[in-house]
Copies of this chain bind each other. A is one copy, B any other.
Amino acid sequence: MSDLEIRRAVREDIPAIVAMLADDQLGAQRESPDDLSPYFAAFERLSLDSNQTQAVAVREDRVVGTLQLTIIPGLSRRGSTRSIIEGVRIHADERGGGLGTRLIEWAVDESRRQNCSLVQLTSDVTRTDARRFYERLGFEASHVGFKLQL
């Protein structure tokens, strides 16, 4: 396979990112790829926050993967900074080819570079393959993740 670049997303990447968010068993019901305006607005907000990185993986000028990395300073664990990974998506053409691993390793390296001592993420319990995937990367499934819709 040709070279892969992982970099910070720019506005022009939004249509490809949203297409990946929607091409997903859970995302299909939640996203609106026909109306990109809420995504552009959210990207503006996100871009103003220096603790947020929307990352994209690019191969041959095509966006083939994405995730959001958030840096969270905090008091607990002796004033530790932690990071949170959200919205990991791999293009259907690239699934099973190791790109997910590359993207998560990128996020872990970036978290280390930003002095985090903990990386965390949650995965819907219905994503049965995710547990094996994250455990193989060294993550421990030590927590229950709760959500409240407002």
A103 within 8 A of B: no
CB pair A119–B150 under 8 Å, yes or no, is: yes
Chain A 86-113 per-residue mask, 1 if CB under 8 angstroms from chain B, else 0: 1100000000000000000000100110
Of the four ranges (under 10, 10 to 19, 20 to 34, 35 or more), the interface on chain A belongs to 35 or more
Chain A 118-133 per-residue mask, 1 if CB under 8 angstroms from chain B, else 0: 1111111100001100
Identify which of A27, A117, A143 gathers the most chain B CB atoms within 10 Å of its CB: A143
A149 within 8 A of B: yes
Residues of A at the B interface (CB closer than 8 Å) are 14, 17-18, 21, 27, 30-32, 38-43, 45-46, 49, 51-52, 54, 68, 70, 72-81, 84, 86-87, 108, 111-112, 116-125, 130-131, 134-135, 137-150
